[in-house]
Structure 1
């Protein structure tokens, strides 16, 4: 693998492209080595790896996305709270794999299992970023935006996890498969102002320079969404 000093400063999507999941895992281990509770983080990493073993994220394993979300929280956002990084690793676990977490297969049972294994605070953060069932009579993207705004308004630490998730989806959209770019851009572009407002809130538990970094990332995501949505649907090599 790469020199640890080099790996520690490489952009996360560059690590993904050059070293793949193994490189991201090594980068995460570099970050959590400084934590007081690395064992819980390793247990969360093992569970996420098990649950998402067969999942994909565009052109790459789904674990790459989860690893980047967790690394970004610890490194770029300077969060040294193990619960928040654990929640970053597990933020999609209940939504995507409730039955693997609990035999009942319900969201409530899956969250109870997360609480049992990692504590109620982790479960609360994961619950706040887990999408509820949608009303088929309403636009699903509109429901998603309403859920994000409402759930994150009252959950500052869940806000941090979701910001990392959104950054990975938004800034990293160019690493997605061509067929999904337009769908993702249409889903996420209307949310950028919501995220800007959430970043700027006084109770968002991040340093001012970190908030400014995130706002720059949101601006970059907007540029990419707009460029993708401006393309003519069906253009060769673009859709």
Structure 2
């Protein structure tokens, strides 16, 4: 199906674009959103790198890149953020966690450290710092993986206000968008994400979280929607 006009794409819900127009529609929406941002060429380069790294990855029924595109679009459109570093970090937020060896190449050191160095050289230190803050650590077999994830999120975002913006968009895409997940994955994701909504509420409400008051309220409303969906999914078990 051919994409609608730019005006329609600009107001269409992101998951609707995904369902109807797929990756092509999301790409067009992102390009519309970043056209007037500073350093739009650098953002296009970040999109190209994300496309290359995640080209074979899947996100349930769709290409993984769709998730990354929605995270970046939401940061610009819904959160009204014009900082290109945050948009680039949104596109690349899973690059180190999922593809550190490919990103690191022949650089010395651990794949994670080398990959972050590569990101810093390509896109600047702020982008690398944001991606580092939202990158999960290696699993600790002595700790329940969901508990480790929650503890990492709370500790990492406590001292990284910019990274909160990326992680909130990521969580919204996963949590509010949970109804678009494959059936068997819904309960697994609901169990993983439900204990995190209160953590994110507290982070949203912090004064140093760099978002406008009405944007923070929008995110809080989205967290309420996510809680309702988690409860419905888990009660149906």
Q: What band does the TM-score fall into relative to the shorter chain?
A: over 0.9
* Farther-moved stretch of structure 1 (148-157 vs 102-111): 102-111
State yes or no: 1:61 paired with 2:63.
yes
Structure-2 separation of matches of 1:133 and 1:22 = 33
2:37 to 35, 46, 57: 35
Structure-1 separation of matches of 2:37 and 2:4 = 22
TM-score after normalising by structure 2: 0.97
What is residue 150 of structure 1 aligned with on the other side? 155
What is residue 237 of structure 1 aligned with on the other side? none
Superposition pairs for residues 83-232 of structure 1, below 5 Å? 83-103=85-105, 106-232=111-237
How many pairs align? 232
Unmatched runs of 5 consecutive residues or more in structure 2: none
2:77 to 43, 50, 75: 75
RMSD (Å) for aligned C-alpha atoms: 0.7
What is residue 235 of structure 1 aligned with on the other side? none
Structure 1 residue 36, shift from structure 2 partner: 1.7
- For residues 179-208 of structure 1, give each alpha carbon's deviation from its aligned partner in whole angstroms, at most 9, with x where no partner exists: 111110000000000000000000000000
- For residues 130-186 of structure 1, give each alpha carbon's deviation from its aligned partner in whole angstroms, at most 9, with x where no partner exists: 001121021010010000000001000100000000000000000010111111000
Unmatched runs of 5 consecutive residues or more in structure 1: 233-239
- For residues 88-118 of structure 1, give each alpha carbon's deviation from its aligned partner in whole angstroms, at most 9, with x where no partner exists: 0000000000011013661101100000100
1:12 to 11, 14, 17: 14
- For residues 42-72 of structure 1, give each alpha carbon's deviation from its aligned partner in whole angstroms, at most 9, with x where no partner exists: 0000000000000000110000000000000
Structure-2 separation of matches of 1:196 and 1:231 = 25
Structure-2 separation of matches of 1:226 and 1:61 = 27
